[in-house]
Structure 1
Amino acid sequence: PYGLLKIFPPQGVMTHFPSAEVDRKFTLKQIEVFKRLIRPLRVKYIHLQNSAGLSYKVPFANLVRVGLSLYGEYGSKDLKGVLKLKFPSRIGARILEVRRLPKGSCISYGCRYRLKKPSYVGVVSFGYADGFMRCLSNRAVVYYRGKPYPVAGNITMDLTAVVFGNVKPRVGEYMEIVNSRRKFSDLATLCGTIPYEIMTRIGERVERRLLK
């Protein structure tokens, strides 16, 4: 195979870490095997590391391919001691309606949540069709004016109910579904999945804005 490479010389060579965040022994062996395989080659670019792979030393490589870290997420817990990342994303949704309901009131489909005391309950314009997965029902919190409030009952296709207690929020104001205090990885942990699944589920009707 190396003879063919002399006819069509490559500019670069790469491999990909499948288990950098969970199997250090396997990944270290992969680095050594790859280093041995590319020894006969003379290429300009060599790259192995994804986001989780940044916690490994690969002195013979000169490029990296980060994905998750671009969004301020750590692909591996080992990275927290190596990099200081800033979480750049925020997802907001408007409060559509607010009512004060009595103790024992049933919230959302299936009546999986009942108020333990009289409380203000808000309806937010964000549901599982927007990427707020149903596994976050009765588990996630969302933020209003910097403070967390619990999601109440089942998240529906287009709407989510939030309990505010004695705080009366203003209709039309925004709540934060995702921010630097509640990241994609935090939601993924609640759902027993990975941040990529949460991120790629954000629906098309969620407006994207790039802020400088």
Structure 2
Amino acid sequence: MRDAQLIINRAALLHNLQLVKQYAPHSKVLAMVKANAYGHGALIIAQTLEPHVDALGVAFLAEAVALREAGIRCPIAILEGVFTPEELTQALDLGCYLVVHQAQQLDLLADYQGQHKTSIWFKIDSGMHRLGFLPQEAIPAYQRLQTIDCVRELILTSHFACADDLSSDKTREQLAVLDALHLQLHALARSFANSAAILAWPQSHHQWVRPGIMLYGSSPFATQTANDLQLQAVMHFQTKLIAIKHIAAGETVGYGSTWRADRATRLGVIAVGYGDGYPRHIQTGTPVLINGQRAPIVGRVSMDMLTVDITDIEAEYGDTVILWGDTLSIDEIATYAHTISYELACQITTRVERIIL
């Protein structure tokens, strides 16, 4: 068995969900479990959340099918919607909510001959410019949706481009667009708030909120940590120290000999690499945690291993090494990789052993 382990803490997940409900006490919760629950494991996360949320969110139909086949019964919203008559029939047979964001999907709904009805999440492009009807297209699209038999209810939805940037005016601009449109649409229920908006834009909460990254214990803001927000890490990535080496000053380490020791150095070899999903391009100096002490990565990350300088800390063969988790934030490690925590969590590979707490 490989030494690398991914420990998933369900108590932390439920703690973070409770924070969502504290911030948005009057809103229903559509919990994001797309992309394998941000790398945490879609089924275990869905099973944990199902009794406590109003619906689960996935990106596309296959993700919904997998959850239904595994026994998940609560409503599932498909955020990209469906694209063929066969997908529409299957989605409605499974009782899924559907996001509708373009005219072709209106045609699919209008042509449906089955007996099922569902909630349609009517998506507006309020400024993100990715998916959604433009505001000037919304009224005729809305009027057409009202005539389609399989539409049980309509929920107005959109997505914020800059909710995590409190210095930007973009969210206010998008809210103004959406508020103006809402007045014309006969008081539809609304769903706009992602994690950042749940935490920072209470005027966006409305009837449904859609938490994602905050459920998993990561901050959506560059200027606030998870600890600042009282979020708890759900994912704990750890491995073992599998060898110790001593090298002289002037010796190099790893592929390409990119790091050179400026002193006699005690090296630790750690059982994790980019084959496990740890980022190959991460900076030299990125910390890992051994016995509560920080040790910097030196040299390039290999497929199965990486090396750290343990000259100045107490560390021995077989010690546990924390790559990120509750004592070393994934958000901090993401800054060393010039990325965001979402990507780090999503790219952990299947050869890492999963342990569920």
Q: What TM-score, normalized to structure 2? A: 0.54
Paired residue for 1:113?
Answer: 259
Q: How does 1:39-54 map to 2 (within 5 A)?
A: 39=183, 40-43=185-188, 45-54=189-198
Are residues 1:141 and 2:291 paired?
A: no
Q: How does 1:59-98 map to 2 (within 5 A)?
A: 61-77=206-222, 83-98=229-244
In 2, Cα distance between equivalents of 1:30 and 1:79: 23
Residues 1:82 and 1:50: Cα distance change in structure 2 (over 3 Å): farther
* Pick aligned residue for 1:157 from 264, 282, 303: 303
Q: How does 1:1-212 map to 2 (within 5 A)?
A: 1=140, 2-7=142-147, 8-22=151-165, 24-39=168-183, 40-43=185-188, 45-54=189-198, 55-58=200-203, 61-77=206-222, 83-167=229-313, 169-211=315-357
In 2, Cα distance between equivalents of 1:82 and 1:208: 28
Name the SS for the 1:177 alignment partner: strand
In 2, Cα distance between equivalents of 1:79 and 1:62: 26
In 2, Cα distance between equivalents of 1:124 and 1:57: 44
The structural deviation recorded for 1:186 is: 1.6
Name the SS for the 2:353 alignment partner: coil
Greater Cα offset, 5-14 or 188-197: 5-14
In 2, Cα distance between equivalents of 1:138 and 1:72: 26
Name which structure has the greater RCO, CA cutoff 8 Å, separation 6+: 2
When the two chains are superposed, the root-mean-square deviation of aligned CA atoms in Å is 2.4
The structural deviation recorded for 1:210 is: 1.9
Contact 2:288-2:321 within 8 A present in 1 as well: yes
Contact 1:137-1:155 within 8 A present in 2 as well: no
Contact 2:197-2:205 within 8 A present in 1 as well: no
Contact 2:193-2:205 within 8 A present in 1 as well: no
Name the SS for the 1:116 alignment partner: coil
The structural deviation recorded for 1:169 is: 2.5
Contact 2:291-2:314 within 8 A present in 1 as well: no
Q: List gaps (5 residues or longer) in structure 2.
A: 1-139
Greater Cα offset, 27-36 or 99-108: 99-108
Greater Cα offset, 62-71 or 21-30: 21-30
1:9-34 deviation per Cα after TM superposition (whole angstroms, max 9, x unaligned): 52422111122223631211111211
Matched to 2:173, the amino acid is: K
Q: What TM-score, normalized to structure 1? A: 0.87
Contact 1:152-1:163 within 8 A present in 2 as well: yes
The structural deviation recorded for 1:67 is: 1.0
Name the SS for the 1:209 alignment partner: strand
Name the SS for the 1:158 alignment partner: coil
Matched to 1:29, the amino acid is: E
Residues 1:13 and 1:65: Cα distance change in structure 2 (over 3 Å): same
Structure with the higher fraction of residues in helix conformation: 2
Residues 1:184 and 1:204: Cα distance change in structure 2 (over 3 Å): same
Contact 1:119-1:166 within 8 A present in 2 as well: no
1:116-135 deviation per Cα after TM superposition (whole angstroms, max 9, x unaligned): 22232111111112122122
Matched to 1:19, the amino acid is: C
Greater Cα offset, 137-146 or 75-84: 75-84
Contact 1:120-1:167 within 8 A present in 2 as well: no
Contact 1:12-1:46 within 8 A present in 2 as well: yes
Name the SS for the 2:208 alignment partner: coil
Identity, % of aligned positions: 25
Contact 1:93-1:174 within 8 A present in 2 as well: yes
